Amino acid sequence: MRRILATIIASLLAVVAVAQEQDFSKVEIRATHVAGNVYLLEGAGGNIAALVGGDGIVLVDDEFAPLAPKIAAALKALGITDKPVRYVINTHYHFDHTGGNAPFAGDGSTVIAHDNVRSRMAAGGAAGNGGSIHMTNKPADPAALPVITFDHDVTVHLDGEDVRALHVPAGHTDGDAIIFFPKANVVHMGDDFVRYGFPFIDVDAGGSVDGLIKACELVIATLPADVKVIPGHGQLSTLADVREYVQMLKDTSAVVAKALKQGKTLEQMKSAKLLDPWSRYSGDFINTNAFIETLYNSLSHRPHAPFVRHN
The confidence score (pLDDT) of residue 308 equals 40
Helix-then-strand count for the chain, H and E: 9, 14
Does some domain include residue 308?
no
Phi then psi for 163, rounded to 5 degrees?
A: -85, 110
Residues 59, 111: Cα–Cα separation, whole Å: 9
The confidence score (pLDDT) of residue 23 equals 87
Question: How many structural domains does the chain have?
Answer: 1
Does some domain include residue 10?
no
Nearest to 133 by CA among 299, 301, 310, 293: 293
Does some domain include residue 7?
no
Does some domain include residue 36?
yes
Residues 234, 42: Cα–Cα separation, whole Å: 9
| First-to-last C-alpha distance (Å) of the chain | 47
The confidence score (pLDDT) of residue 22 equals 78
Strands 48-53 and 110-114: unpaired
The confidence score (pLDDT) of residue 180 equals 98
Does some domain include residue 97?
yes
* pLDDT grade for 290, boundaries at 50, 70 and 90: very high
Q: Which pLDDT tens digit goes with each residue over 261-285?
A: 999 999 999 999 999 999 999 999 9
Q: What is the pTM of this model?
A: 0.91
Mean pLDDT of 31-42: 98
Decide: 200 and 285 in contact? Cβ < 8 Å.
yes
Q: In this model, does residue 306 exceed pLDDT 80?
A: no
The confidence score (pLDDT) of residue 6 equals 37
What is the average pLDDT score of the chain? Answer: 91
Angle at 209 between CA 207 and CA 210, to 5 degrees: 105
Residue 289 sits in a domain whose CATH number is: 3.60.15.10
- Taking phi over 0 as left and psi of -120 to 50 as alpha, with beta for the rest, 43 belongs to alpha
308 vs 33, which has greater pLDDT? 33
Decide: 207 and 170 in contact? Cβ < 8 Å.
yes
The confidence score (pLDDT) of residue 7 equals 34
Burial 223-242 (b: 16+ CB within 10 A, else e): beeebbbbbbbeebbebebb
The confidence score (pLDDT) of residue 33 equals 98
Distance of CA 68 to the CA centre of its chain: 18
Amino acid at site 120? R
Q: Which pLDDT tens digit goes with each residue over 176-197?
A: 999 999 999 999 999 999 999 9
The confidence score (pLDDT) of residue 116 equals 98
Strands 148-150 and 110-114: parallel
Residues 256, 198: Cα–Cα separation, whole Å: 14
Q: How many CB atoms lie within 10 A of CB 28?
A: 10
Does some domain include residue 9?
no
Does some domain include residue 42?
yes
Does some domain include residue 309?
no
Tell me 64's DSSP state: -
